[in-house]
């Protein structure tokens, strides 16, 4: 599939998910800002993808990222972040959402598997109780140590101060 065909709006995603379910495909959902894509993100996404599964990534919109990360973020615009994510082979679909959490999106697509980073262990994962209510499951995936967008930004800023 061409990468630009992977970026869909919510209405189209719901149609796609219905079609995929008729084909007995497993819908896997994760979300994030993915501001500056790095090896940690790639490792996470590859680990999130399951055999015969369709990986849907909910991408925080620019306004959503600002609410979560502060007014200096995102570094990369939502459409550019979506284009970069679409080029990652394990990602099947990307949908941009404006809310602080993806709960509405999770409720609409009802994923079979909800994936979050292992740093959520012991914390409430948004959508977890809903996904569990219909027999879906939540999977926590390990992060690749040493990578974070904030760390990359801080490193660049430190180089600028020299």
Residues 150, 133: Cα–Cα separation, whole Å = 35
Q: What domains sit in the chain, N to C, each tagged with a CATH number?
A: 3-160 (3.40.50.620)
Report in angstroms the alpha-carbon separations of 70 from 20, 34, 126, 150: 37, 15, 20, 12
Looking at residue 158, what is its pLDDT? 81
Strand extents, DSSP E, the chain: 26-32, 53-60, 93-97, 113-117, 137-141
Residues 72, 7: Cα–Cα separation, whole Å = 25
DSSP characters over 108-129: HH--SEEEEEGGGTTSPPTTHH
Is 51 a residue whose pLDDT tops 80? yes
Instruction: Tell me the pLDDT of the chain averaged across its residues.
Output: 92
CA-based angle 62:68:69, to the nearest 5? 80
| Confidence at 12, pLDDT banded by 50, 70, 90 | very high
The half-sphere exposure of 95 on its side-chain side, counting CA atoms within 13 A, is 23
Is 104 a residue whose pLDDT tops 90? yes
Adjacent-strand bridge partners of 139: 115
Q: How confident is the model over 110-134, as a mean pLDDT?
A: 88
């Amino acid at each position: 599939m061409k990468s630009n065909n992977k970026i869909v709006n919510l209405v189209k995603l719901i149609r796609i998910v219905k079609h995929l379910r008729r084909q007995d495909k497993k819908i896997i959902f994760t979300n994030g800002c993915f501001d500056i894509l790095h090896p940690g993100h790639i490792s996470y996404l590859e680990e999130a993808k399951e055999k015969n599964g369709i990986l849907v990534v909910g991408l925080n919109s620019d306004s959503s990222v600002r609410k979560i990360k502060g007014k200096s973020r995102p570094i990369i615009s939502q459409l550019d972040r979506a284009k970069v994510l679409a080029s990652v082979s394990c990602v099947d679909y990307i949908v941009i959402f404006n809310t602080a959490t993806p709960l509405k999106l999770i409720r609409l697509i009802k994923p079979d598997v909800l994936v979050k980073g292992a740093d959520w262990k012991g914390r409430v994962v948004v959508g977890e109780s809903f996904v569990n209510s219909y027999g879906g499951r939540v999977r926590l995936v390990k992060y690749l140590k040493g990578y974070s967008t904030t760390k990359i930004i801080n490193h660049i800023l430190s180089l600028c101060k020299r």
